[in-house]
Structure 1
Amino acid sequence: MSTGLPRQECAVTVLGGPTAVIDLGGLRIVSDPTFDEAGPHGYLTKTAGPAVDEAGVGEVDLVLVSHDAHPDNLDERGRAFAKRAPLILTGPSAARRLGSPAVGLPPWATRSVPRGDGGGELTVRAVPAVHGPEDGERDADGNVNCEVTGFVLSGQGLPTVYLSGDNASIRAVAEISRRVSGIDVAVLHAGAARVPAKFDGRPLSLDGRGTAAATAVLGAGTVVPAHYDGWAHFSEGLPEIELAFHEAGLSSLLRAAPHGTWVPLPR
């Protein structure tokens, strides 16, 4: 396990599972923190711990939680880590369950966060995600599987960064592309997560071809895959993602660095 992550000017690293660290605008942002060691988590099994632990991540300015309902996106140590942050942004239902310092954002709502580099504010926009097939049964709030929130980060002089959360819907990606222009970087949860008891075992997140299709729809110039390993319920890994990008002619956009390794982002 790596001992630490020095602050970067503008970069992202995936620590394993869904957990990404984004240094942007003088802020350290962590998405979907999962820091438990490998082992069973109810009906899911974690197969590998993070490349960097909580101490290695250090002080964080903002935590983004796509959803709190599943331990592969927010485990016990990840939950404790998030609660120590100055601010958590998540969906409305998750915010009610998590309590302070969580703030719930419905789709398309924004929250401004003061930047640490003196450049004004970072805008965080909540965007929709569908955690399963489009025709999956929906709850009273219209969610498939559970409430999931994606995020778009933007600010003056910064790349616009989209974090998908656990989304399986190209339709949702297309809507985001229509309503949010100029997405430069996409951190996409791939891996084609499958649970046999849910939706006839169909994917709950993007598979490799869906990840490549989402890239084309978004027009992003840099794509960082996440949430494709570290848990037993992923049906695809990095080789399938890389093959899909190769077949689509998009390999030059894919940045799949070893976990805990920084990927510089375009300014």
Structure 2
Amino acid sequence: MAPTKITHIGGPTTLIEVGGWRILTDPTFDPPGKRYFFGWGTTSRKLVGPSIAAADLGPIDAVLVSHHHHGDNLDPSAQALLPTWGTTVTTKKAAAKLGGNCVGLAAWETTLLEAPGKESITVTATPCRHGPVGSEPITGPVIGFSLAWAGQEHGELWVTGDTVLYSALREVPSRLKIGTILLHLGSVRFRYLSGWFRYTMDAREGAELIELVDPAHVVPVHYEGWSHFQQGRSAAEAVLGQSPLADRVTWLDPGESKVVE
């Protein structure tokens, strides 16, 4: 296939364009100002709206939703549009809840995206743990996504999803050849409820994961735009800038794109 274009829409939301496919990740299109309830007393306020309005996106062939139950990964505006956006690949629990054209996967399960006139894309669900040990009953199921298609020069495109760095995540480079990472950061914390426990990677963990994977390209996402993100771009960029693979990291402003081979 042709080179891949990645556009950062905001927060975790990106548009991936390759070989005629247009794929959204963790779509969030609500305007700023709303407060979202994540369960067990945790909340977050959206601070910045999307750089591209949903109405201006054009056709969408598939959507990757790492989890449906947090508004910074799937908000009401996006959920209402899912039936118009082709296939949604998500967790089994989310697929049962959302219905429609949803395909539910558990970690390491796969599905195939197919369409007339386009080369197929294999989607592999990758493991996530959205918090410290034992947090799964509270934070719920989450997955990442690795996308494979014919002709990838450096390897698959991996969307990590919301996760901390833990043993199952470290298995990914031993099971898949990754060429590009969409790296979810943000160091999410709710200090008034859970102290210093983190629910997504900070840049230190992100740097460790990058070295484990040894990808050709890294695009950080999910670090600004909501009040529960505790490590923004400037702090994260300083840490990743010290990585021996810092030259492979590209920071995209909302609305900005990068083409990767």
Work out whether the TM-score is over 0.5: yes
Structure 1: 4+ residue segments shifted above 6 A: none
SS of 1:114's equivalent? Answer: strand
Q: Aligned pairs, how many?
A: 252
Instruction: Give the counterpart of 1:161 among 148, 157, 160.
Output: 157
Could you tell me which runs of 5 or more consecutive residues in structure 2 were left unpaired when the two chains were aligned. 37-42
Residue 85 of structure 1, CA deviation: 1.4
Distance 1:198 1:82, change over 3 A: farther
Q: Which residues in structure 2 correspond to 1:249-264 (within 5 Å)?
A: 249-264=244-259
Structure-2-length-normalised TM-score:
0.91
Alpha-carbon distance in 2 for matches of 1:132, 1:166:
9
Structure 1 residues 198 and 18, CA gap change in structure 2 (3 angstroms): farther
Structure 1 pair 198–96 and aligned structure 2 pair: CA distance change class (3 A) = farther
| Structure richer in strand, relative to its length | 2
Superposed counterparts of 1:109-188, under 5 Å: 109-114=109-114, 118=118, 120-133=119-132, 135-139=133-137, 145-158=139-152, 159-180=155-176, 182-188=177-183
Q: How much has 1:117 moved relative to structure 2? A: 5.8
Identity of aligned residues (%): 33
TM-score norm. by structure 1 comes to 0.89
Superposed CA RMSD in Å reads 1.7
Residue identity matched to 1:112: L
User: Following TM superposition, by how much is the alpha carbon of 1:137 offset from its aligned partner in structure 2, in angstroms?
Assistant: 3.5
Distance 1:221 1:116, change over 3 A: farther
1:194 pairs with 177, 189, 204, which one? Answer: 189
Tell me what 2:15 maps to. 21
Number of the residue aligned with 1:235 = 230
**C-alpha deviation, 1:197, in angstroms:** 5.2
Gaps of 5+ in 1: 1-7
Match of 1:51 in 2: 51
Map of 2:78 onto structure 1: 78
Q: Is 1:217–2:212 an aligned residue pair?
A: yes
Q: Is the CA contact (8 Å cut-off) linking 1:26 and 1:116 kept in structure 2? A: no
Distance 2:85 2:193 in 1: 33
Give the residue type in structure 1 aligned to 2:239: A
Q: Is contact 2:127-2:144 (8 Å) kept? A: yes
In 1, Cα distance between the equivalents of 2:65 and 2:242?
32
1:94 maps to amino acid = A
Report the counterpart of residue 93 of structure 2 in structure 1.
93
